[in-house]
Structure 1
Amino acid sequence: MILLVDVGNTNIVLGVYDNDKYMMSWRISTDSKKTSDEYGIQVRALFSQNNLDINDIEGIIISSVVPNIMYSFEHMVRKCFNMDPIVVGPGIKTGINIKYDNPKEVGADRIVNAVAAYEMYKRSTIVIDFGTATTFCAISKNGNYLGGNIVPGIRISSDALFERAAKLPRVELEKPDTLICKNTVTSMQAGIIYGYTGQVEYIVKKMKQEMKELGEDEPFVLATGGLANLIARETDLIDKVNSKLTLEGLKIIYYKNKE
């Protein structure tokens, strides 16, 4: 079995695969103040609760967009699993070409998603990752990472209204039935959900146009991340939601670098 770890700004996702078979995954809070021992207690408890043996883990790969957590987390891995993890970064084999001005600037999560999209679909693809930030990435049919853009995530946008407008409350991310709303809560919900959907649609349409100008076929639009389904239900421009895309990408990169 292998352990796949995606360290995000809000959550850390851990997934266990037995060869190519998905076993299970967990989501824990990202906290740079936690020690390696505290993370170790959490991880051991998750394995124990699900009747998994830590000693059955043969390899570990980590992608992270939170540098200041990595010392504690890598130290935890070495203490709990008695092995060094593969860390996604410069020098790692990915199988894609990164056409960024400075390839080192591309977040590990974006690279991992691009690898999964290319290896799984082998076509021109736009990947949207609805995380703390929402990222849009363009991957060519030949496996080139063409670039993309980054916008504030849905929760960041929602929280900004609550934090910066004195009389507006914090609201749940739920879709009201209408855009002409008759109370503050549903008015905010409508603006956030429908407004964010409009933003996604505009960006996707413009990216498709630019990719076609570069000679790409009609791009396949793939979404992932915790809030992907919320937006995908509101637009027909998202072709597929794959909640395990990042874990699949980590698995692919792990086997490319296993030796």
Structure 2
Amino acid sequence: MMLLALNIGNTNITFGGYHPDGKLVFSSRLYADSRLSSDELVYKMVNMLALYGASPLDVTDVILASVVPSLTPRMREALQKMCQVPLMEVGPGLKSGVRIRMDNPAQLGGELLCAVVGALRRHEPPLLVMNVDTAISLLAVDEAASIVGGVILPAPQLSLEALVRNTAQLPQVDPETKPRRFLGTNTADCLHSGILNGTAAMLDGMFAKCRAVLRAPQAPVIVTGTLPATIRDACDTPMDYRETLILDGLYAIWKRNGKK
């Protein structure tokens, strides 16, 4: 018996298998290509399951969150073809245990709600939760475990791509690697340090301002997604990085909604 938890983000599809007791069996990531057909999605997921020694026959339930409407119906169709088991989707009507105190709660992406649910399994509120995909999404959670607001800004890779694309002589650099020095002595090193250390300084500033609004100067920061370890290490603010935070939240929501 295995729960298959899936999250469709703008850049990646993350999915993992959980035993009913909450033990993570495996987790993996696929590129979220909106052009994929349902058959292609089935092919990729079946092969990924096989890579971790699992098969569609092991799947007894599925829970899905998505922020890509164009890909969601094809994923539903792919899951129906692959395993024909009950499918739960994150959205209105599901109990999460988190109150959303925002202008329009329906606008909050399912993956962000799941990240908050996953973070609250690891830390007591108030806290900050950050997911990094194409964008950086940072949410503030107050002492009553309510989402009270957040900020959205470009992820470092997106900023880097835009900068290189729109300038004539700036080279591509790899934010996954550490710059040789803080003050670069050539164009590539200057850009490398600026992207990495600039992003770290920006995040430290955003964390400090969010903590001030929450009046919680020691609120923990829980992070998931594709923020490179080099940038996390360059931040002065300690972070609890959990690669499967959204999947953990999906499991918790599935459990809370009558699944034992």
TM-score surpassing 0.5?
yes
1:80-119 to structure 2, matched below 5 A, reads: 80-119=82-121
Counterpart of 2:193 (choices 165, 190, 193) is 190
Alignment partner, residue 247 of structure 1: 247
Q: In structure 2, what is the Cα distance between the partners aligned to 1:229 and 1:89?
A: 31
Matched residue SS, 1:39:
helix
When normalised by structure 1's length, the TM-score is 0.94
Alpha carbons of 1:117 and 1:228: their partners in 2 closer, same or farther (altered >3 Å)?
farther
| Cα deviation, residue 143, structure 1 | 1.4
Runs (5+) with no aligned partner, structure 2: none
Alpha carbons of 1:147 and 1:228: their partners in 2 closer, same or farther (altered >3 Å)?
farther
Name segments (4+ residues, structure 1) moved above 4 Å. Answer: none
Alignment partner, residue 168 of structure 1: 170
Is 1:209 matched up with 2:212? yes
Alignment partner, residue 123 of structure 1: 125
Matched residue SS, 1:148:
strand
- CA displacement, residues 10-58 of structure 1 (integer Å, 9 cap, x when unaligned): 1101111112111111111111111101100111111223221211111
Q: In structure 2, what is the Cα distance between the partners aligned to 1:51 and 1:194?
A: 40
Alpha carbons of 1:127 and 1:228: their partners in 2 closer, same or farther (altered >3 Å)?
farther
* Letter in structure 2 aligned against 1:64: S
Matched residue SS, 1:129:
strand
Alpha carbons of 1:49 and 1:119: their partners in 2 closer, same or farther (altered >3 Å)?
closer
Amino-acid identity (%): 28
When normalised by structure 2's length, the TM-score is 0.94
| Cα deviation, residue 257, structure 1 | 1.8
1:30-49 to structure 2, matched below 5 A, reads: 30-49=32-51
Matched residue SS, 2:71:
helix
Matched residue SS, 2:122:
helix
* Letter in structure 1 aligned against 2:210: M
Q: In structure 2, what is the Cα distance between the partners aligned to 1:177 and 1:53?
A: 45
Matched residue SS, 1:122:
coil
Alpha carbons of 1:228 and 1:99: their partners in 2 closer, same or farther (altered >3 Å)?
farther
| Cα deviation, residue 248, structure 1 | 0.8
1:5-24 to structure 2, matched below 5 A, reads: 5-19=6-20, 20-24=22-26
Runs (5+) with no aligned partner, structure 1: none
| Cα deviation, residue 217, structure 1 | 6.8
* Letter in structure 1 aligned against 2:31: S
Alignment partner, residue 140 of structure 1: 142
Is 1:181 matched up with 2:184? yes
Is 1:4 matched up with 2:12? no
Q: In structure 2, what is the Cα distance between the partners aligned to 1:202 and 1:188?
A: 20
User: What is the aligned length?
Assistant: 256
- CA displacement, residues 56-77 of structure 1 (integer Å, 9 cap, x when unaligned): 1111111111111001001001
Q: In structure 2, what is the Cα distance between the partners aligned to 1:154 and 1:253?
A: 30
| Cα deviation, residue 229, structure 1 | 2.5
Is 1:233 matched up with 2:236? no
Counterpart of 1:26 (choices 13, 25, 28) is 28
